[in-house]
């Protein structure tokens, strides 16, 4: 189908954007358009105003500091994928991006769009959860920072207020040599996953796990950290028993069901992808030692 | 509604037009410019038939508004070759029988064209990966992958 009519605005600065957000009623922001334009074409959304943020020059970019990686909301998925800095400091990101849509959608799709749209199976919000991200948002009433735990409000719902926009996302870096693993299962390459998992591990010199982060996505309406499994792993030397216990926790999540996939199958897959992600993280962490 | 004046280049030619904001880039190149090589299948980003190259990158023309292409360089399948002088990629499609009904072909060609510009020697696996974004109901894909690899080889030989 074709998009319904709307008034189109393309602000050239953040100030102009804030002005439009303050003034316009029933407006939507347009980033990469890879989720919003299908919704317009299907007419599941019908905004009166579309505010295209593609021409605001400083909303994209990748900045690294000793502790953080800051990603501008309008950074394209293909640019994240191509970044050597990102591949060196947080290699799981490149791994995951290979699963975000297709070559042709990644050239327009942005990280900000993905994190505001919040498909339950989206990889990038899941990585934000894994890296304890902070979301830098702004609007007519000023700027604020939202912690990742508060960002996910529910199915396709973020903590953004109606007149706010996402400026950038700050990820906490892990030390060099950390192990990482990413695994998802989709019926076809590029489709949204039925279930997926990411894991980060850091080992101490005595081969005990110093720190662990595990995220499971596509299973509940928003990505979930397996906090209990993470705590269980810390201080231990890795074993098959621990792996099985972590996978069991993923399989105990409150899985969604839809016309294609039952909750039981999703739970089962959640365990499988968690096991695979952790196994890979352990392998890479050991290789790095 | 809100019509806008835009100027862009399409296949190297300057184009100026007035366009309504809700018109997508696929409809614009087909209807306003008359380049009907770009096909429209699903209009929600899934089939890849509308794939074109915008500022050097492959994109779904159905998911971009024409107004967003103001100032852009757009390339469509018509830019690749002519019936008398097919590009290496088009020739490889013909030689390998990489099309049947031809509906998906413009998108396939533009996707592979975009790939070969950034990756002159793709592996079979890389070709399969990028083609996951283009659906074909006829060929079974193998001949398309073969044609892409042939074209890569031919281009390496001549450029
Ligand atoms: C065929 C296909 C397959 C796909 N497969 C996957 C997949 O496997 N995994 C995956 O994660 N995604 C997938 N996607 C979606 C992905 O491509 C989109 O890029 C992403 O979901 C949205 O990003 P966008 O930049 O395109 O945002 P848009 O579509 O422009 O916007 C999405 C929403 O976010 C809002 N928004 C965008 N930016 C901001 C901002 N800075 N501040 C406030 N609000 C904002 C918009 O108003 C809109 O509501 C797929 C898309 C297609 C077409
Ligand atoms: S028509 Fe654009 S992807 Fe199908
Ligand atoms: S040749 Fe018919 S759809 Fe591909």
Whether B114 and B67 share a structural domain: no
Q: Which fold has domain A7-52?
A: 3.30.43
- Beta-carbon count within 10 A of A149 CB: 11
Domain boundary among the residues B33, B59, B79 is at: B79
Average pLDDT of the segment spanning A255-272: 97
Mind listing the pLDDT tens digit for each residue in B40-85?
A: 999 999 999 999 999 999 999 999 999 999 999 999 999 999 999 9
Whether B106 and B46 share a structural domain: no
Let me know how long chain A is.
289
Domain boundary among the residues B79, B105, B132 is at: B79
Whether B72 and B99 share a structural domain: no
ipTM rounded to 2 decimals: 0.96
Whether B97 and B62 share a structural domain: no
Percent of chain A residues past pLDDT 90, beyond the cut: 97
Does the pLDDT at position A173 exceed 70? Answer: yes
Whether B135 and B71 share a structural domain: no
pLDDT of residue B157: 86
Whether B114 and B94 share a structural domain: yes
pLDDT of residue B159: 62
Mean pLDDT of chain B: 97
pLDDT of residue A69: 98
> Confidence class of residue B132 from pLDDT cuts 50, 70 and 90?
very high
CB B135 within 8 A of CB B46: yes
Mean pLDDT of chain A: 97
Q: Which fold has domain A179-288?
A: Enolase-like; domain 1 (3.30.390)
Q: Do B132 and A190 touch (CB under 8 A)?
A: yes
Does the pLDDT at position B97 exceed 60? Answer: yes
Distance between CA A95 and CA A140 in Å, rounded? 37
Domain boundary among the residues B49, B79, B109 is at: B79
> Confidence class of residue B2 from pLDDT cuts 50, 70 and 90?
confident
Whether B116 and B65 share a structural domain: no
pTM over 0.90: yes
Mind listing the pLDDT tens digit for each residue in B11-34?
A: 999 999 999 999 999 999 999 999
Does the pLDDT at position A125 exceed 60? Answer: yes
> Confidence class of residue A288 from pLDDT cuts 50, 70 and 90?
confident
- Tell me, what DSSP letter sits at residue B140? -
Does the pLDDT at position B1 exceed 60? Answer: no
Topology alike, domains A60-172 and A179-288: no
Q: Is B108 helix (H, G, I), strand (E, B) or coil?
A: helix
Whether B69 and B98 share a structural domain: no
HEC sequence for chain A: CCCCCCEEECCCCHHHHHHHHHHCCCEEEECCCCCHHHHHHCCCCCCCEEEECCCCHHHCCEEECCCEEEEECCCEHHHHHHCHHHHHHCCHHHHHHCCCCCHHHHCCCEHHHHHHHCCCCCHHHHHHHHCCCEEEEEECCEEEEEEHHHHEEECCEECCCCCCEEEEEEEECCCCCCEEEEEEECCCCCCCCCEEEEEEEEECCCCEEEEEEEEEECCCCCCEECHHHHHHHCCCECCHHHHHHHHHHHHCCCCCCCCCCCHHHHHHHHHHHHHHHHHHHHHHHHHHC
Does the pLDDT at position A289 exceed 80? Answer: no
Residues in Cβ contact with B2 at an 8 Å cutoff, skipping those fewer than 6 apart? A5, A6, A7, A8, B20, B21
Among chain B, residues having any CB pair with chain A shorter than 8 Å are 1-2, 4, 20-22, 24, 27, 43-45, 48, 51, 54, 57-60, 62-65, 67-68, 111, 114-115, 128-130, 132-134
Q: Is A156 left (phi over 0), alpha (psi -120 to 50) or beta?
A: left
**Structural domain for B42, as ranges:** 3-79
Cα–Cα nearest to B71, from B59, B83, B55? B55
Distance between CA B70 and CA B67 in Å, rounded? 6
Average pLDDT of the segment spanning A119-125: 98
For the domain spanning A60-172, the CATH number is: 3.30.465.10
B115: chain A residues, CB-CB within 8 Å: 103
Q: Which ligand places an atom closest to the C-alpha of A135?
A: 1
Residue B57, CA distances (Å) to A121, A253, B116 in order = 26, 40, 11
Whether B118 and B53 share a structural domain: no
Distance between CA B103 and CA A151 in Å, rounded? 42
Distance between CA A87 and CA A96 in Å, rounded? 11
Q: Do B133 and A8 touch (CB under 8 A)?
A: no
CATH number where B114 lies: 1.10.150.120
Q: Do B22 and A4 touch (CB under 8 A)?
A: yes
Whether B12 and B57 share a structural domain: yes
Percent of chain B residues past pLDDT 70, beyond the cut: 98
- Beta-carbon count within 10 A of A187 CB: 10
Query: What residues does each domain of chain A span?
Result: 7-52, 60-172, 179-288
Q: What is the count of structural domains for chain B?
A: 2
Whether B113 and B136 share a structural domain: yes
Q: Which ligand places an atom closest to the C-alpha of B47?
A: 2
Average pLDDT of the segment spanning A119-130: 98
Whether B122 and B66 share a structural domain: no
């Amino acid at each position: 189908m074709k998009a319904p009519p709307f008034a189109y605005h393309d602000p050239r600065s953040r100030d102009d954007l804030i002005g439009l957000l303050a003034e316009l009623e029933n407006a939507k922001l347009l980033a990469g358009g890879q989720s919003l334009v299908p919704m317009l074409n299907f007419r599941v959304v019908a905004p009166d105003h579309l505010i295209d943020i593609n021409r605001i020059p400083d909303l994209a970019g990748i900045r690294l500091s000793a502790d953080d990686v800051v990603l501008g909301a309008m950074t394209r998925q293909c640019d994240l994928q191509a970044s050597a800095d990102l591949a060196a400091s947080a290699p799981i990101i490149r791994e995951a991006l290979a699963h975000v849509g297709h070559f042709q959608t990644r050239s327009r799709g942005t990280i900000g769009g993905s994190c505001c749209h919040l498909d339950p199976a989206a990889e990038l919000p899941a990585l934000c959860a894994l890296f304890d991200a902070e979301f830098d948002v702004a609007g007519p009433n000023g700027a604020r920072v939202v912690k990742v735990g508060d960002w996910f409000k529910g199915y396709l719902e973020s903590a953004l207020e109606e007149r706010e926009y996402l400026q950038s996302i700050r990820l906490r870096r892990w030390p060099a040599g950390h192990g990482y693993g990413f695994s998802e299962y989709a019926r076809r390459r590029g489709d949204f996953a039925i279930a997926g998992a990411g894991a980060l591990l850091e080992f101490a010199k005595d081969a005990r796990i110093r720190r662990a982060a595990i995220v499971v996505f596509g299973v509940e309406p928003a990505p979930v950290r397996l906090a209990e499994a993470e705590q269980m792993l810390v201080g231990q030397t890795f074993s098959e028993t621990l792996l099985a216990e972590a996978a069991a926790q993923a399989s105990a999540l409150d899985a969604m069901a839809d016309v294609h996939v039952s909750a039981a199958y999703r739970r089962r897959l959640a365990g499988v992808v968690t096991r695979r992600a952790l196994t890979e993280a352990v392998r890479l962490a050991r290789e790095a030692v | 509604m809100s019509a806008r004046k835009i100027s862009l280049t399409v296949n190297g030619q300057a184009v100026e037009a007035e366009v309504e904001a809700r018109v997508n880039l696929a409809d614009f190149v087909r209807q306003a410019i008359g380049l009907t090589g770009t096909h429209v299948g699903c209009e929600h980003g899934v089939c890849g038939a509308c794939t074109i190259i915008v500022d050097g990158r492959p994109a779904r023309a159905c998911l971009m508004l024409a107004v967003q292409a103001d100032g852009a360089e757009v390339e469509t399948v018509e830019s690749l070759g002519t019936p008398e002088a097919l590009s290496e990629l088009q020739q490889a499609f013909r030689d390998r029988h990489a099309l049947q009904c031809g509906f998906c072909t413009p998108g396939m060609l533009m996707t592979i064209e975009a790939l070969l510009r950034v990756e002159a020697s793709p592996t079979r696996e890389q070709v399969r990966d990028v083609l996951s974004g283009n659906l074909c109901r006829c060929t079974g894909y193998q001949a398309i992958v073969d044609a892409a690899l042939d074209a890569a080889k031919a281009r390496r030989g001549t450029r």
